Amino acid sequence: MDSNHSAPAIVITVINDCASLWHEVLLGIEEEGIPFLLQHHPAGDVVDSAWQAARSSPLLVGIACDRHTLVVHYKNLPASAPLFTLMHHQDSQAHRNTGNNAARLVKGIPFRDLHA
């Protein structure tokens, strides 16, 4: 395992200090009872950063976000093929459900519909 973290958590890479824009995603993760760890980076590619976050997470799930896009990645997927991609302009329910689904990936339970 390529983990740099000892506590089990979803690793979230925040590019350009945009965490407040994605608050509903974080709430969705919390609702499912899965911990997360925020890492702040000044720049980077969202897809690659999410894959690197997944590689460093003991739970094998990583997220990266910038001001426009949030990506959920899984360590066992190809680096260029994230599981979910969310745009900031999507509604708050899609944001919340994306967070739920990132946590549900860890739990191994079925995903929620992003717009349900």
3 state SS of 3: coil
Question: In the prediction, which pLDDT does 5 show?
Answer: 54
Tell me the domain boundaries of the chain: 10-107
Residue 13 CA, distance from chain mean position: 8
For residue 91, give the amino acid letter. Answer: D
What average pLDDT does the chain have? 94
**What value does the mean pLDDT take over residues 78-85?**
98
Answer whether residue 3 shows pLDDT above 50. Answer: no
Between 3 and 116, the higher pLDDT residue = 116
Q: Look at residue 7 and tell me whether its pLDDT is greater than 90.
A: no
39 token code pair = 């890492």
The answer to whether 79 touches 47, Cβ cutoff 8 Å, is yes
Residues with Cβ within 8 Å of 111's Cβ and at least 6 positions away in sequence, in order, are 100, 101, 104, 105
For domain 10-107, the CATH class is: alpha beta
Please state the rounded mean pLDDT for residues 88-104: 97
Q: Does the pLDDT of residue 116 top 90, yes or no? A: no
Q: pTM for the whole thing?
A: 0.93
Q: In this model, does residue 89 exceed pLDDT 80?
A: yes
Report the half-sphere exposure of 22 (CA within 13 A, side-chain side): 31
Cβ atoms of residues 84 and 71 within 8 Å: yes
Res. 101 pLDDT band, cuts 50 70 90 = very high
